[in-house]
Amino acid sequence: MNTDRTLDLTGYDAVLFDLDGVLTPTAEVHMHAWQRLFDELFAAWGITPPYTDRDYFEHVDGKKRYDGVAAVLRSRSVEVPWGEPADPPTADTVCGIGNRKNATFARILRDEGIAPYPGSLRLLDVLRDAGTPIAVVSSSKNADEVLRTAGLRGRFEVVVDGVLAEHEHLASKPAPDMFLAAARMLGVDPARAAAVEDALSGVRSAAAGGFALVVGVDRGVGAEALTAAGAHVVVADLGDLVEASARGL
C-alpha cells in the first residue's frame, strides 16, 4: 500500500465522515449518558453483570439509539416491547429507554456545548480548499444539533443521520445502507470514495459498502480491532492526515 497516496484524502472523489468521536468528542458525552442510563436501569431491574465500556463498544457504539438499547438488553437476556418513537422517557420499552438516554445527552450538550477536534477541523479545511465533497454519516438523531453547536453544519450539504435513516428505512450500521445513501446523495461511487469511522460497527458498515479507503480513528476501541473490522488505515487523530492531504492540493 502506498501510504502517502492512500492518506491523501483529496485524491478521492468524496470523503464521508462519522460524527461522534470522529469530528467531535461527543462520543464521550454519549458514553457518559449511556453509562448513567444503564447503571440506573440495571440497578432497578436487578440486571447483572453491570454495564461497562466494553458493552458500549460492542453493542452501542455507531448504532442507531434504539438498536443499541435492544442489543445491550439482549446481551443480558432481557427482552422488552419495542414500543414507538413517541414513547415518553418513563416508558419501559426499547424506545422509551432510548428516549431516556437522549434526554440526558441533550441536557449535557446544552449545558456544556461541544467543539470539534482541532485535527478534524484542520482536515476539513484542507478538503474544503481542495474542493473535495464531504458528508456526515451518523446514526445519531442528534447529529444536526451537534453539528450546529460545533459550528460545522454549514460545511456539509449532505447529512445522513438517524432521523433520515428512520424516515427512509435505512438499516443501522454495521449494514452499509447509510454510507451508501450518502454516496448516492453526493453522486459518487463508493469505490472512488473514502469513509472515516471510529466505531467498529461503522468501520464494518463502510467496508461492506465497498469504499476505496476506510480510515479508522482510534478513540479507545483499539487499532487491532478497527483493522480486524475492515479499516485499511488507523490513525489516532485526523490531524495525522492533514500533511498528506495538504500535499495533494
> Domain map of the chain by residue range?
3-25+114-247, 28-112
Comparing 3-25+114-247 with 28-112, is the CATH topology the same? Answer: no
Q: What is the per-residue DSSP string for 146-200?
A: HHHHTT-GGG-SEEE-HHHHHHHTPPPTTSSHHHHHHHHHHT--GGG-EEEESSH
Percent of the chain scoring above 70 in pLDDT: 97
pLDDT for res 2: 37
Site of grid cell 446514526: 139
Q: Please name the amino acid found at residue 88.
A: P
**3-25+114-247: in CATH 3.40.50.1000:** yes
pLDDT for res 3: 44
pLDDT for res 28: 86
What CATH class is the domain 28-112? mainly alpha
pLDDT for res 4: 52
The residues carrying an active-site annotation are 18, 20
* pTM of the shown model: 0.82
Question: Residues near 158 by Cβ (< 8 Å), separated by ≥ 6?
Answer: 133, 134, 135, 136, 182, 185, 186
**C-alpha 223: how far from its chain's center?**
17
pLDDT for res 5: 56
Residues of the chain with pLDDT under 50: 1-3
pLDDT for res 1: 36
Question: Residues near 125 by Cβ (< 8 Å), separated by ≥ 6?
Answer: none
